[in-house]
């Protein structure tokens, strides 16, 4: 673990932090979220640099990115991202708690035995209690069921989310990776209990467009917001792999989720051509990939991961150009469909 936190000094958030970021309403709710949010899935584990983590979150908040996304099992090891976030929160962000929108989730394997995985009431409620302790906060702004559980009755899982809101441990609830039909059922069960399905967190990028086949329409119907995760396909939709595999890249450093073999020459040919279009728009490849998702007003926010404050800033600057001409959209489509 690296605790090089002496060198970074006292933090006072920039006074103009809300001046340039744009905000969108999350479905039919009272909440506005920044169009760019930051996730702590990678680069916030115990082997990662603590100063770098602080710099990333300071850079985000200083530029109006006030939504931080976590989950019980982000690390490694599981729980580490929440622990590190808790330390950073304590050092830098405690005075700003009411300006922050913090999320956590449970649904993937977390602890041994039958109660540390999937969608039971026992797992969800115990897991959120653990997350609150690790992060040192009294409540999260949104708590998600992280993935569908085919064996637990949906009424039990949604009942747990409803109870969590009733207990004041989360202000809002969401689901992640639920297909359209299951989302509709989940929203209906919650509604009957008096809790709204506030947000859905699906994977969505230029290279993974499953949400376009029904989910976005369902969310619109329910008045539920959408936060798109892995918008850069874990780094593929940036210019970083166009000249080989950088030593510090996710594909080289951490082969758990992004395998080098997935980044094929054919895929890179597409990214190379997309990158040329991005240059013509005066944007980085990452910025164009983010802006492309935001062209749908039903996307509340795009949830990026970053390994440095520099990347965070590059992504934030996407807001300088969110519009596409029809010609640009056609060209992008033609490249993606090749």
Ligand X SMILES: NC(=O)c1ccc[n+]([C@@H]2O[C@H](COP(=O)([O-])OP(=O)(O)OC[C@H]3O[C@@H](n4cnc5c(N)ncnc54)[C@H](OP(=O)(O)O)[C@@H]3O)[C@@H](O)[C@H]2O)c1
Interacting residues with ligand X between 180 and 219 (CB under 6 A): 201
How far apart are the C-alpha atoms of 25 and 31, rounded to whole Å?
Answer: 6
Q: Which is nearer to ligand X, 182 or 193 (CB)?
A: 182
| Interface with ligand X, residue 249, by CB under 6 A | yes
Interacting residues with ligand X between 136 and 165 (CB under 6 A): 146
- β-strand partners of 261: none
In the three-class reduction of DSSP (H, G, I as helix; E, B as strand; rest coil), residue 231 is classed as: coil
| Interface with ligand X, residue 67, by CB under 6 A | no
Which span sits near ligand X by CB under 6 A: 12-20, 92-100, 231-239, 260-268? 231-239
Min separation Cβ 15 and ligand X, Å: 26
Residues 150-179 as b or e (16 or more Cβ within 10 Å = b): eebebeebbbbbbbbbeeebbbbbbbbbbe
To 10 degrees, the CA torsion angle through 25, 28, 31, 32?
0
| Interface with ligand X, residue 75, by CB under 6 A | no
Min separation Cβ 244 and ligand X, Å: 13
Beta strands 32-34 and 23-25 are: antiparallel
The correct pick among 92, 190, 233, 324 for binding ligand X (CB under 6 A) is 233
Q: Which is nearer to ligand X, 242 or 330 (CB)?
A: 242
Interaction mask 300-319, ligand X, x per CB under 6 A: ---xxxxx---x--xx----
Q: Which is nearer to ligand X, 286 or 326 (CB)?
A: 286
Contacts with ligand X: how many residues (CB under 6 A)? 29
Min separation Cβ 304 and ligand X, Å: 4
Q: Is 231 exposed, middle or buried (0-12, 13-18, 19+ CB in 10 A)?
A: buried
The correct pick among 134, 145, 250, 270 for binding ligand X (CB under 6 A) is 250
| Interface with ligand X, residue 68, by CB under 6 A | no
Q: Which is nearer to ligand X, 194 or 230 (CB)?
A: 230
Min separation Cβ 12 and ligand X, Å: 26
Q: Read off the tokens for 162.
A: 């409803």
DSSP H/E element including 217:
helix 215-222
**DSSP states of 2-24 as a string?**
B--TTTT------TTTTSS--EE
Q: Which is nearer to ligand X, 108 or 193 (CB)?
A: 108
Residue 301's contacts (CB-CB under 8 Å, 6 or more residues apart) are: 24, 26, 33, 34, 35, 36, 37, 67, 225, 227, 228
Min separation Cβ 303 and ligand X, Å: 4
| Interface with ligand X, residue 40, by CB under 6 A | yes
| Interface with ligand X, residue 39, by CB under 6 A | yes
Q: Which CB contacts under 8 angstroms, 24+ apart, belong to 262-265?
A: 262/236, 263/236
What does DSSP assign to residue 242? T
The correct pick among 117, 131, 176, 283 for binding ligand X (CB under 6 A) is 176
How far apart are the C-alpha atoms of 12 and 18, rounded to whole Å?
Answer: 14
Min separation Cβ 29 and ligand X, Å: 19
Interacting residues with ligand X between 97 and 136 (CB under 6 A): none
| Interface with ligand X, residue 69, by CB under 6 A | yes
State the residues that interact with ligand X by CB under 6 A: 39-42, 69, 146, 176-177, 201, 229-235, 238, 240, 249-250, 286, 303-307, 311, 314-315
């Amino acid at each position: 673990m690296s605790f090089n936190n002496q060198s970074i000094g006292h933090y006072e958030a920039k006074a103009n932090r809300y001046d340039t970021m744009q905000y969108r309403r999350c479905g039919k709710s009272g909440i506005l979220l920044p169009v760019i949010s930051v996730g702590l899935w990678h680069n916030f584990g115990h082997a990662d640099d603590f100063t770098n983590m602080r710099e990333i979150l300071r850079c985000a908040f200083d530029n109006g990115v006030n939504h931080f996304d976590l989950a019980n099992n982000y690390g490694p090891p599981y729980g580490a991202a929440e622990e590190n976030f808790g330390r950073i929160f304590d050092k830098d962000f405690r005075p700003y708690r009411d300006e922050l929108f913090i999320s956590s989730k449970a649904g993937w394997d977390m602890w041994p035995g039958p109660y540390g995985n999937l969608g039971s009431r026992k797992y969800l409620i115990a897991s959120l209690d653990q997350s609150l302790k690790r992060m040192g906060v009294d409540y999260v702004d949104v708590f998600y069921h992280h993935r569908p559980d085919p064996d637990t009755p949906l009424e039990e899982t949604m009942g747990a989310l409803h109870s969590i809101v009733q207990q004041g441990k989360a202000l809002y609830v969401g689901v992640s990776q639920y297909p359209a039909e299951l989302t509709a059922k989940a929203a209906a069960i919650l509604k009957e209990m008096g809790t709204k399905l506030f947000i859905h967190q699906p994977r969505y990028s230029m290279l993974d467009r499953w949400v376009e086949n029904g989910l976005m329409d369902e969310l619109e119907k329910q008045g539920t917001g959408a936060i798109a995760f892995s918008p850069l396909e874990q780094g593929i939709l940036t210019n970083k792999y166009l000249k080989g595999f950088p030593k510090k890249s996710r594909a080289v450093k951490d082969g758990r989720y992004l395998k080098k073999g997935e980044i094929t020459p054919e895929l890179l040919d597409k990214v190379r051509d997309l990158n040329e279009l991005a240059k013509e728009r005066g944007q980085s490849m990452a910025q164009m990939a983010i802006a492309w998702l935001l062209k749908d007003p039903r996307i509340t926010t795009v949830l990026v991961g970053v390994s440095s404050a520099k990347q965070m800033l590059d992504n934030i600057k996407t807001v300088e150009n969110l519009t596409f001409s029809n010609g640009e959209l056609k060209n992008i489509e033609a490249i993606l469909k090749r």
